[in-house]
A = this chain, B = another copy of it.
Amino acid sequence: MIRIVRPCAATAAATPPTPPRSLDLPPLIARGLERVGARVAQQLTSDVPEVHALCRSLDKYRGKMLRPTLSLLCAHAVRRDSLEIVDEALIVPDVVTVASVVEMIHLATLVHDDVLDEAETRRGHATINRIEGNEIAVILGDFLISQSFHLCSSLDTQKTALRVGEITSAVCAGELLQLARRGDAALDEPTYFRIIERKTAALIGLACEVGARHAGADEATCAAMYRFGSHLGIAFQIQDDLLDLIGDEAVVGKPLGKDIEKGKVTLPVLHHMGRLATAEREAIEARIRTSTPLNGSRSMLAARLDASGSIEYARKVAREHIERALSELGRLGESPARERLAAVGESVIDRQF
Contacts and interface: CB of A to CB of B under 8 A. Distances in A.
Interface of A: 1-5, 46-48, 50-51, 54, 108, 112, 115-116, 118, 129, 133-136, 138-143, 145-147, 149-155, 158, 161-162, 164-166, 168-169, 171-173, 175-177, 179-181, 194, 198
A258 to B, nearest CB: 14
Nearest to A105: B146
A50 B112 CA distance: 20
A146 B168 contact: yes
A51 B142 contact: no
Contact of A173 (B48, B133, B179): B48
A177 B50 contact: yes
B150 A138 contact: no
Contacts of A165: 146-147, 149-153
Given A118-B4, A158-B158, A168-B146, A112 B138 contact: yes
Nearest to A139: B175
15 contacts: A2-B3, A4-B118, A48-B198, A51-B173, A51-B177, A112-B142, A116-B135, A136-B180, A139-B172, A140-B176, A145-B145, A145-B146, A150-B168, A153-B162, A153-B164
A140 B180 CA distance: 11
A158 to B, nearest CB: 5
Contacts of A149: 149, 161, 164-165, 168
A3 B133 CA distance: 12
A143 B133 CA distance: 22
B141 A142 contact: yes
A138 B115 contact: yes
